[in-house]
A and B are shown apart, each in its own frame.
Chain A
Amino acid sequence: MSDISTAFALAFQLIVVLDAELVDIVGRSLFVSLTAVIIATAIGLPLGAVVAVYRFPGRRTVVVILNALMGLPPVFVGLTVYLLLSRAGPLGVLGLLFTPAAMIVAQAVLITPIIAALSRQVMRDLYEEYREQLCSLGAQPRHVVQTLLWDGRLGLVTVVMAGFGRAIAEVGAVFIVGGNIAHVTRVMTTTIALETSKGNLALALALGLILVLLAVGVNASAAVLGGVSAYRRA
């Protein structure tokens, strides 16, 4: 019991004094996950909108695949990206393995389907409501896509936050492709795993607390925005 309270005390101390190692790790985590979210959003939102609006052969299959990929196991994504980026792999020449770039790629692969599938649902619902009116006003499918992305913005922010939540909390993929190298590819989740196994509970706990705070913050923002969105929709 005293171990835990000591760990808590140390954790708070690390947070309060902004311990250099802690800041380094949190900063890298945010950099990797935010970059991955930006990439995944840039691909996922238009993809979701196109699948929601355009009719093309195989659309159902695409939807099923997107939905299935939402549950991709991070370790599997990590392994696949590892194989692609390893020396012998097809993208080995890029020399990205065990760099933050590799971690960004892995997280982007992991959350792009989440953002695409969830945003497709948001825009599909909106499209049901708008379809006849937009068609009546003479909107072409590309106008419809733009309109849905803009008018669905509040719901879509929630989707992006869900993607961020998944990325920042994920450990398996970044561990495999990043290698958890101190000051290079060490992020919050990999550090927690490592420090816990070493018995250094204070740093692990401090990072854990920050991770929880981030998760709560992101979810609270999503809930607030979702609430505003629902109000506007009413």
Chain B
Amino acid sequence: MAILPLILKDVSVQAGGRILLDRVSLEIGAGPKTVILGPNGAGKSLLLRLCHGLIGPTHGRVRWTGSDAAQARQRQGMVFQKPVMLRRSVRANVAYGLQLHNVSSSERGDKIRQVLERTGLAGATDQSARVLSVGEQQRLALARAWALDPEVLFLDEPTASLDPSGTGAVEKIIQEIHESGTKIVMTTHDLAQARRVAEEVIFLHNGRVAERNDPDAFFTRPESEAASAFLEGRLLW
């Protein structure tokens, strides 16, 4: 039973007279880690929020087409650029999502221990989540999402405010979540990170999908002019 593939058909988003996403059509299926790459303002975060159902399109349709599509809301998670920590302990932050998903209390305890160990937060279980460092908070956000065993996990520039070691830790966790069978869809503007993480690249420019390619081809022989310019560090408007 799956909720994927996710199909976007001619999806546009307008706000304040501006077109932020312009007739985007995409199919996102299970498997490779998908990285949505593009400069600031390309519409990456917006596209991710749209996929996750946090906002609706002005035009077009976003549909989960798997056999279990009715369960789509429950089977996907998202981690935001700035981690949102509930004013509770580390444990309670993870427990919160599990409670909403009606996980029994006995199962909850095991699950919480497991994800906190995997994200290196086992020693901080009873601390207030608000006093953790940003890196730890982002790992907790990953743990909270991971605990729900989502089929798809959307990650919106999860390392944008982290130092290199924090970034490394988060990327390692993302790889483990991927290996546990969750489809990863991540945005980044960081080329080096895209090279490290991507198994598939969707390049977004000015609210449009300029190119979709496998990483080898994308980084060596980009098909679109916009992608070449971005890779060469020429400023895009």
Chain A contact residues, CB within 8 Å of chain B: 129-130, 132-133, 135-139, 143, 147, 151-152, 232-234
Contact = CB atoms under 8 A, between A and B. Distances in A.
B23 interface: no
Contact of B130 (A136, A137, A147, A232): A232
B72 to A, nearest CB: 11
Contact of B54 (A129, A132, A232): A132
B78 interface: yes
Given A138-B73, A139-B100, A132 B84 contact: yes
Contact of A133 (B80, B101, B130, B148): B80
Interface in B112-171: 128, 130, 144-145, 148
Interface residues of B, number: 21
Contacts of B221: none
B84 A129 contact: yes
Contacts of B145: 136
Contacts of A232: 87, 128, 130
Nearest to A234: B130
Nearest to A229: B87
Contact of A143 (B49, B52, B87, B100): B100
Contacts of A137: 77, 96-97, 100, 144, 148
A157 to B, nearest CB: 13
Q: Which of B77, B78, B86, B128 has the most CB of A within 10 A?
A: B86
Contacts of A130: 84, 86
B88 A151 contact: yes
Q: Which of A137, A139, A232 has the most CB of B within 10 A?
A: A137
Given A138-B74, A138-B101, A132 B96 contact: no
Contacts of A138: 73-74, 97, 100-101
Contacts of A135: 54
B52 A136 contact: yes
A136 B4 CA distance: 17
A138 B98 CA distance: 10
B100 A233 contact: no
A224 B74 CA distance: 40
B77 A136 contact: yes
Interface of B: 49, 52, 54, 73-74, 77-78, 80, 84, 86-88, 96-97, 100-101, 128, 130, 144-145, 148
Nearest to B87: A151
A139 B144 CA distance: 14
Contacts of B77: 136-137
Given A147-B86, A151-B86, A132 B80 contact: yes
Nearest to A154: B87
Nearest to A147: B86
Contact of A233 (B73, B80, B130, B144): B130
A174 to B, nearest CB: 37
Given A143-B100, A232-B130, A233-B130, A136 B54 contact: yes
A51 B145 CA distance: 29
8 contacts: A129-B84, A132-B80, A133-B80, A133-B84, A137-B97, A138-B73, A147-B96, A232-B130
Nearest to B77: A136
Nearest to B97: A137
A165 to B, nearest CB: 25
Contacts of B84: 129-130, 132-133
A152 B86 CA distance: 10
Contacts of A129: 84
B206 to A, nearest CB: 24
Nearest to A132: B54
B73 A132 contact: no
B86 A132 contact: no
A232 B85 CA distance: 11
Given A129-B84, A130-B86, 5 more contacts: A136-B77, A136-B145, A137-B97, A138-B100, A152-B87
